[in-house]
Amino acid sequence: MTLLEHLLRMTRFGMWADAGLLATLKSSDAAKLPQRCTNLFAHMQAARAMWMSRMDGSPTAGIELFPEASVADCEALLARANEQWAKLAPTLNDAEIERVLEFANTKGDRFATPLRDALIQLCDHGSYHRAQIITSLKEAHLDIPSPPPNFLVYIRTQE
């Protein structure tokens, strides 16, 4: 498996995990659902959109990284991020993932990062926040995703 194939596989896993987590948020008792869960989910999708915009050269202005969000907002943000990925993914190849992205973060600090590393960051960032959301669901005595957003579960059930 090439690095590109691995990165695409990990991205597909993240999208599958996000879809399962969104289904759990949608089926949760709205009165018990901690706002933190939807805010973190929205943040994951906003960060994904920001990184993909950096990758495809589209503007990042107007992407709010830490939105206060409802479940409906989360659904819309996920759909938008998935659409953006569907346009970006076919443009990736072994040479393209070596391209260096030059960008400014939200504080205005300038950075240069290979696209491959940005894809790894996206995968890691999503796993981190999915774990936070699941912890918050457990603390609120709400159901957690079934199957769990676990890479091996993904491999066994989706590939």
What is the residue extent of each domain of the chain? 3-158
> Helix or strand or coil: residue 33?
coil
Per-residue pLDDT of the chain (159 residues; tens, 9 = 90+): 999 999 999 999 999 999 999 999 999 999 999 999 999 999 999 999 999 999 999 998 889 999 999 999 999 999 999 999 999 999 999 999 999 999 998 889 999 999 999 999 999 999 999 999 999 999 999 988 887 889 999 999 998
Q: What share of the chain is helix, strand, coil (3-state, %, to 5)?
A: 65, 5, 30
Question: Which CATH fold topology does 3-158 show?
Answer: Four Helix Bundle (Hemerythrin (Met), subunit A) (1.20.120)
